[in-house]
Chain A
Amino acid sequence: MIKKRSKISAEFNTASMSDINFLLLIFFLVSTMFAVEKGLPMALPGQQSKSVKLKKENVLTLQAFANGSIVARGTGPLALHEVQRFIQNKLIQNPKLVIVIETHPDADYGLMIDLLDELRLADAEYISLRTMKTGS
């Protein structure tokens, strides 16, 4: 018996392979998101800086507790998403307001950053960091 030769070519077309590769490359280049690291700048009080006496009505203290709750001194507890609106209102009443973030030593660092972020979003200019005194 004579075997029939198959007429179908067993090779496939590799000429467009590089095009496909380039398309894939460009797709992943565009769709890759790099983790963007950003900074929240602060100026700490140094040794040379003098302490300035502030009037009581120009100071607003936000306290961050170890259980994650936030309390505005004199007003009461606040939810994190309320902070920005609250601070904006306070700043309209008194643009010279200094906001003190008083964090409990056992609180998470992330909570302090959340508060600092909200204050920066509310365009607060004078922010001060303080650690809560415990055992008093």
Chain B
Amino acid sequence: MKIVKKQGVQSTIPTGSMADIIFLLLIFFMVTTIFKMEEGLPIRLPRAESGSELDRERLINIWADRYNRISINDKLIHVDNIQAVITSRFEENPQLVVAFNVDHRTRYSLVSDIMDQLKEANAVNVTFVSMGEEGS
């Protein structure tokens, strides 16, 4: 009869350092992640209750602040040049929707001028970006 030997190898994995490993991974990914941010202009969006979801794939963002500055693709631009920029973007993809990121204190005449340019460029689908009620 054979006597079963007790195995000396431990069958537990030490989990004490697990938290350290997780933290290291967390910090590694935090440092290496690059967010793609389109900054635009610092604005305060108007609030609206009836907003619907934005389809971010199809948006071109136009930013306008209350000092009448306009920015498309992170470049400041004059009102009269909007048509050319938008037209060239629509040649690549005619399905695009133009998103108005406009400060709520902006004079309406600027918005009206932008809309005139968009009509010239035949960019008829627009959306006015607003803040949902819960947003802070």
Contacts and interface: CB of A to CB of B under 8 A. Distances in A.
Interface residues of B, number: 44
Given A38-B53, A113-B130, A47 B112 contact: no
Contacts of B49: 117, 121
A95 interface: no
A90 to B, nearest CB: 18
A121 B122 CA distance: 28
Contacts of B129: 37-39
A128 B48 CA distance: 18
Interface of B is mostly: mixed
A40 B130 contact: yes
Interface in B61-78: none
A contact residues, range: 35 or more
A131 B112 CA distance: 7
Interface of B: 16, 18-19, 22, 45-46, 48-54, 97, 99, 102-112, 115, 118-120, 122-132, 134-136
Interface of A: 15, 17-18, 21, 33-49, 64, 103-114, 116-117, 120-121, 129, 131
Nearest 7 interchain pairs by C-beta:
A38-B51, A110-B104, A105-B109, A39-B127, A120-B50, A36-B132, A18-B19
15 contacts: A36-B131, A36-B134, A37-B129, A37-B135, A38-B129, A39-B130, A40-B50, A40-B51, A44-B115, A103-B112, A105-B107, A113-B48, A120-B48, A121-B50, A131-B109
